Structure 1
Amino acid sequence: MPSLADVVDLIHAWYPPRTADSWDAVGLVAGDPAAEIGKVMFAVDPTVEVARDAVEWGADLLVVHHPLFLAPVSSVAADTPKGRTLHTLTAGGCALLAAHTNADQAVTGVSESLALALGLTDLAPIRPAPAGPLDKVVVFVPLGAADAVRAAMTEAGAGRIGDYDSCTWTATGEGRFRPLDGATPAVGAVGDLEVVEEARVEAVVPRSRRTAVVRALLAAHPYEEPAFNVVPLADPGLATTGTGRVGTVEETTLEEFAARVGAALPATAHGVRVAGDPQRPVRRVAVCGGAGDFLLDELAHSDVDVYVTSDLRHHRASEFMEHDGPALVDVAHWAAEWTWLPAVEARLQRELGDRVETRVSTRCTDPWTFRP
């Protein structure tokens, strides 16, 4: 069986904690990293009822979306709400892991899972995640030394693009220089104009590795004064991760699409609320798992026909509908985020196979329980 540390490493690789918002509280909450994991349960909320379900099933790990300790507490005594959950899990030998905003933006994350559950295709983030800052380092080197300089640059961190490494580009040309008094040239003689066939070697470099790469190329270069330059690169905005998702559906009406939403999500007392003309054509759809009214302004003048999210406030929704923007579909927060659970469960099953048994909690933890 894998250890808890093994499972945590997998989930953190898919949903890196460093991508979580600064105010968030994600990662391993309780559990011994060396413990063996045979059963994993997935849930949206770490309520005491969910904790009891996990322990009764024999789960060794409960993975939740909402953190147990998002708000600071001064006590985890068993007679406090958070303490009851924690004591239930620890007494039952069940660890707890939270993946919150780090799971919202990721591939196979919350918003993407919601989009796929509603049948959206051609997905892209509403707000692409900013790429890490990149530079392009260019150096001119004699042909005979190009391989050594190229290897030194890649060893220092240059040329990593996606799932590829050692990515460089090379062209050849003539380098011209005249060594002056005081120089000790590797090629040519003092006072003579020299022409050398050189390679222009280029590589993309994470900005955090810029200094290391430049130092490496200088150390490997045969010249006293190598010619090189560093060019900052603009973010192309092509990230596959980011806030929310926008995609397409086969053209339908708002009324029919809202019915599809209701059928795709688990039932709640909240249900599905719609603002807009029932016969409005729907083709482009935006979604955001969880509370998504912070995206209203940038969607107001987009080509989106309807926006699906949760927790829309009266005034924001009312003002939004005064403009000729998308229709609104408001769903239960829990129901929208629940769609992520089968996705992360399937990913863990593909990775670990029959080494771990998994289960998705079907307990509804939405706080609204009925309509009179």
Structure 2
Amino acid sequence: MGKLVASDLIAAIEDYAPLALKEGNDPTGFQIGRRDKSIERVLVTLDVRPETVQEAIEQNVDFIFAHHPVMFRPARNLDLSDPQNKMYADLLTHDITVYAAHTNLDKTNGGMNDWLAEALQLNDVQPFNITDYQSLVKLVVFVPESHAEQMRMALNQADAGHIGDYQACSFSTTGIGRFQPTDAANPYIGQSGDLEAVTEVKIEVVLPVAMQTKVVQAMLAAHPYEEPVYDVIPLANQQQPIGIGRIGQVAQSMTVRDYAQFVCETFDLTGLRLISNEPDKIVQTVAVVGGDGGKFFPAALQAGADVYITGDVYYHTGHDMLAAGLSVIDPGHHVESIVKDKMTEIFEKWAKQRCWSVTFIKSQQKTDPFTFIFNAE
């Protein structure tokens, strides 16, 4: 098993959720600490709060992965009587590195809003509020027959070959590769000066351009040749749309009121807020944006949503939603705590694939600041 350095974990995260996807001034990315730090224990959390930092200290954690950036606003001073400043000092004192993936994780395929759509059992899920398109490339590599399956596995483990709802997609053809090693070469097959003809397999996979470096590195590591032959070809195919939200069809038709109850049960909520002129209307199409997504409601409406699920809806925005005829369910910001389970699963998968000797710990802290108080009458 190999040691893991913070910069390597950060590179893997940014391959999965590229920083180029982040919204405007979102301070996502590296937050506090050292990129060159060796890490053995990682805490996965939604928020970095004083109680989370204390948990990390007690767990002897080296690295905190959070969804929400710890430094949303720059510190005006370093007065340690301020709880936020004291938290920064505790992180530095205990040499804990902190990294956050925020709106880039919301947007990326297989990220926050896909997880929420999955939890809501939505079908035919697509992005909405499209802001960009993810360019694709095709990697073509030539390997001896003896290493073809090993190469396909390496490419699959590097997450190449995703096409829509299908994964591990590749195409292979067999042909003859010819080469003549020079005197300076150290060939895997053949002798210097001899013209060789070898049966080789041509393997082709499609991948997002943002993953090119990671996938090429995996290919080179799995290739037996001293000088592998490969091509990276830009594609003019329809590119993958990138949007902050997800929209899909409900698994079972029900009223707006009943769907709100379903959301409560799905996320184990004590309560939520419903904005609707038509609570008895049948729901077919649902849009979701985790966190503070009130400003995206016109895009959800334009995309055809019967119901829009998002958190932190403002009073006047609620009026605008009613006037537009859109039913909105506000389950709160904290439903994004799904990040703890999902990112821990992803990290553990990476650790197994890449032979990292590291333990990933889901934070046990509940950082939702709100408590529902019900009228006893």
TM-score (norm 1): 0.67
Instruction: Please identify, of 252-261 and 2-11, the stretch whose mean Cα deviation from structure 2 is larger.
Output: 252-261
Distance, in Å, in 1 between the alignment partners of 2:47 and 2:64 is: 10
By how many angstroms is 1:77 displaced?
4.0
Q: 1:111 aligns with which of 110, 113, 117?
A: 113
SS at match of 1:126: strand
Letter in 2 for 1:243: I
Contact 2:46 2:340 in 1 (8 A): yes
Instruction: Please identify, of 79-88 and 4-13, the stretch whose mean Cα deviation from structure 2 is larger.
Output: 79-88
Contact 2:269 2:331 in 1 (8 A): no
SS at match of 1:336: helix
Partner in structure 2 of residue 254 of structure 1? 256
Contact 1:108 1:344 in 2 (8 A): no
By how many angstroms is 1:369 displaced?
3.5
SS at match of 1:119: coil
Distance, in Å, in 1 between the alignment partners of 2:245 and 2:336 is: 12
Distance, in Å, in 2 between the alignment partners of 1:238 and 1:8 is: 24
Distance, in Å, in 1 between the alignment partners of 2:320 and 2:29 is: 38
By how many angstroms is 1:33 displaced?
2.3
By how many angstroms is 1:351 displaced?
0.6
Contact 1:31 1:95 in 2 (8 A): yes
Contact 2:321 2:327 in 1 (8 A): no
Partner in structure 1 of residue 142 of structure 2? none
Distance, in Å, in 1 between the alignment partners of 2:268 and 2:134 is: 37
Distance, in Å, in 1 between the alignment partners of 2:302 and 2:34 is: 50
Distance, in Å, in 2 between the alignment partners of 1:332 and 1:308 is: 9
By how many angstroms is 1:21 displaced?
2.4
1:158-307 to structure 2, matched below 5 A, reads 238-239=240-241, 241-249=242-250, 250-267=252-269, 271-276=271-276, 277-307=278-308
By how many angstroms is 1:24 displaced?
1.7
By how many angstroms is 1:321 displaced?
1.5
Alpha-carbon spacing, 1:302–1:121, altered in 2? closer, same or farther (3 Å): same
Distance, in Å, in 2 between the alignment partners of 1:46 and 1:97 is: 10
Distance, in Å, in 2 between the alignment partners of 1:342 and 1:301 is: 32
SS at match of 1:322: helix
Contact 1:122 1:248 in 2 (8 A): yes
Contact 2:257 2:280 in 1 (8 A): yes
Larger radius of gyration between Structure 1 and Structure 2: 1
SS at match of 1:244: strand
SS at match of 2:38: coil
Partner in structure 1 of residue 19 of structure 2? 17
- Structure 1 unaligned spans of 5+: 135-160, 166-205, 207-232
- Structure 2 unaligned spans of 5+: 137-160, 164-168, 171-208, 210-235
Distance, in Å, in 2 between the alignment partners of 1:251 and 1:367 is: 33
CA RMSD of aligned residues (A): 3.0
Contact 2:344 2:362 in 1 (8 A): yes
Distance, in Å, in 2 between the alignment partners of 1:53 and 1:317 is: 37
By how many angstroms is 1:267 displaced?
3.8
Distance, in Å, in 2 between the alignment partners of 1:117 and 1:133 is: 28
TM-score (norm 2): 0.66
Distance, in Å, in 2 between the alignment partners of 1:255 and 1:242 is: 28
Alpha-carbon spacing, 1:327–1:20, altered in 2? closer, same or farther (3 Å): same
Q: 1:361 aligns with which of 357, 360, 363?
A: 363
Distance, in Å, in 2 between the alignment partners of 1:251 and 1:352 is: 40
By how many angstroms is 1:133 displaced?
8.2
Partner in structure 2 of residue 341 of structure 1? 340
Deviations 1:194-239 (A, max 9, x none): xxxxxxxxxxxx9xxxxxxxxxxxxxxxxxxxxxxxxxx8x95741
Q: Which runs of 4+ in 1 moved over 6 A?
A: 161-165
Letter in 1 for 2:247: V
Instruction: Please identify, of 75-84 and 116-125, the stretch whose mean Cα deviation from structure 2 is larger.
Output: 75-84
Contact 2:253 2:282 in 1 (8 A): yes
Q: 1:52 aligns with which of 54, 59, 63?
A: 54
Distance, in Å, in 2 between the alignment partners of 1:108 and 1:39 is: 24
Partner in structure 1 of residue 152 of structure 2? none
Deviations 1:279-326 (A, max 9, x none): 3211211000111111122233442111000111222222321333x3
Partner in structure 1 of residue 190 of structure 2? none
Deviations 1:36-81 (A, max 9, x none): 2111111122111111111111211111122122212232443223
Q: How many residues align?
A: 278
Distance, in Å, in 1 between the alignment partners of 2:104 and 2:318 is: 27
Distance, in Å, in 2 between the alignment partners of 1:19 and 1:11 is: 13
Contact 2:135 2:239 in 1 (8 A): no
SS at match of 1:258: helix
Contact 1:128 1:237 in 2 (8 A): no
1:80-99 to structure 2, matched below 5 A, reads 80-99=82-101
Contact 2:135 2:240 in 1 (8 A): no
Letter in 2 for 1:343: K
Partner in structure 1 of residue 43 of structure 2? 41
Distance, in Å, in 2 between the alignment partners of 1:263 and 1:162 is: 32
